[in-house]
Amino acid sequence: MDFYVLSDKEAAQIVYDASHIVKTISVDYVGGVGAPDYKAVVGPDVEVSADGSLYKQMHYDSFGIWVFYNRGSGDAATVTITIQKSPLS
């Protein structure tokens, strides 16, 4: 796994499989600063928890990936966007 600090508000992680091929890319936006709007990532319908956190997972079978969008609760919540190779591909 590689971990990169891109700025004081962004970090990225890259995970590889046993063959050293990228399996997962995950980006954290601290406080949500710089994060794309969830609608641009996973569409308009997200699950909103009682505490205000958001979550949605989309499967893009034609590309062989899953995309996850997660925003924690609170005013300065971290947003995490993860793209992962589908276990079926």
For residue range 47-89, what is the model confidence (pLDDT) as tens digits? 899 999 999 999 998 999 999 999 999 888 999 999 999 876 5
Triad 81, 20, 87: Cα angle to 5°: 55
- Total domains present in the chain: 1
Query: Rounded to an integer, what distance in angstroms lies between the CA atom of residue 45 and that of residue 73?
Result: 17
Domain that holds residue 22: 2-85
pTM here? 0.89
